[in-house]
Amino acid sequence: MSLPTEANTQFAEYAHPERLVSTAWLAENLGAEGLVVVESNEDILLYNTGHIPGAVKIDWHTDLNDEYTRDYVDGAAFAALMAAKGISRESTVVIYGDKSNWWAAYAMWVFTLFGHEDVRLLNGGRDKWIAEGRELTRDKVSPAPAQYPVIERDDTVIRAFLPEVLAHLGQPMIDVRSTEEYTGERTHMANYPEEGTLRGGHIPGAASVPWSRSAAEDGTFRSRAELEALYLDEAGLKAGDDIVTYCRIGERSSHTWFVLAHLLGLEKVRNYDGSWTEWGNAVRVPIVKGIEPGVAPVGRGA
């Protein structure tokens, strides 16, 4: 059973307003039948320090990733996870998290790989909820187990793998990392020095639009007009484009995937979750250093 879309004048500007809820809407709808709130953070202990009443925790590392295959869980494991969290196929799932919803967007993207229909982000995430002085609790949440069907993951629509990105060279691509990572000045993001790669730089032809430019100071998304100025006017994307986003491990680029696909309504946006961690280390894969997007070496594209 799906909850109605929030009536919100700012959200109404977006292509898919049904994909967002405000903190006020969530506060009013907590406990509604058919709603499951999910917290997904980078710091996996953060949920335990206090969470939105009734929210369940999903850990991207241990819940969504398969331990042995460097891939997401399969349909059976996803169904088991959903059942344990009290999520049915018809549930309205609202996801929020720390760091401007990076991991929340990442979780949403994985839900989308399994075709979960009604999954929404909490605009502004955990920080905004706290900044507004809204309730947090440490109460243990024990959801009634739900039934969830085993769905085969569909990686063809919103996910890109390395060979597909190689074939995509010369077409629109957005690198959402920091400028220093894009130019190759550093091989990791600020404060994450150990997660470096052998080479620094970017995928040939990728435009640099750091993810943070799509978010306001309070972590909420910028207006449709601001997002259009950024991605359409500045980065040159246009309706009908086939677009690939990437970052370092795929979480920040999930945030941009959300912006492009759901807020701007671009039809074909794929997240390359292998991202720079894979590309920067792969053999016989071209890179570009410096601030210019660059072009693919001859014979390396599609």
Partner 1 sequence: MSGTLPGPLAEIVNDFIEVPENERLELLLEFSEELPALPERFTQHPELLEQVVECQTPLFLALELADTEAREVSLFFSAPPEAPTTRGFASVLAQGLDGLPAAEVLRVPDDMPNQLGLTRALTPLRMRGMTSMLGRIKRQIRERLPEAAA
Selecting among 55, 58, 64, 247, the annotated active-site residue is: 247
Stretch 195-224 residues interacting with partner 1 (CB under 8 A)? 195
In sequence order, which ranges of the chain are alpha helices (DSSP H)?
9-12, 23-29, 75-84, 102-113, 125-131, 162-168, 179-183, 224-228, 252-258, 275-279
CA distance 39 to 41: 7
In 3-state terms, the chain is what percent helix, strand and coil (to 5)? 35, 15, 50
Residues 217-227 as b/e (b if ≥16 CB within 10 A, e otherwise) read eebbbbebeeb
Q: Dihedral, CA atoms, 207, 232, 219, 10, nearest 10 degrees?
A: -170
- To the query of whether residue 247 is one of the catalytic residues in this protein, the response is yes
Q: Supply the minimum distance, in Å, between the C-beta of residue 223 and partner 1.
A: 27
Q: Looking at 15, 44, 80, 216, which residue binds partner 1 (CB under 8 A)?
A: 44
* Residue 176 near residue 269, CB atoms below 8 Å: no
Could you say whether residue 137 binds partner 1 (CB under 8 A)?
A: no
Q: Per CB under 8 A, which region of 61-69, 213-221, 274-282, 292-300 contacts partner 1?
A: 61-69
Q: Per CB under 8 A, which region of 3-11, 59-67, 74-82, 261-269 contacts partner 1?
A: 59-67
* Residue 198 near residue 281, CB atoms below 8 Å: yes
Q: Looking at 46, 77, 83, 295, which residue binds partner 1 (CB under 8 A)?
A: 46
- Residue placing its CB nearer to partner 1 in the complex, 28 or 195: 195
Q: Per-residue x/- mask for partner 1, residues 82 to 111, rule CB under 8 A?
A: ----------------x-------------
CA distance 202 to 295: 11
Could you say whether residue 192 binds partner 1 (CB under 8 A)?
A: yes
Q: Supply the minimum distance, in Å, between the C-beta of residue 22 and partner 1.
A: 22
Residues lying near partner 1 in the complex (CB under 8 A):
42-46, 48-49, 61-62, 67, 98, 191-195
Which residues participate in catalysis according to the annotation?
247
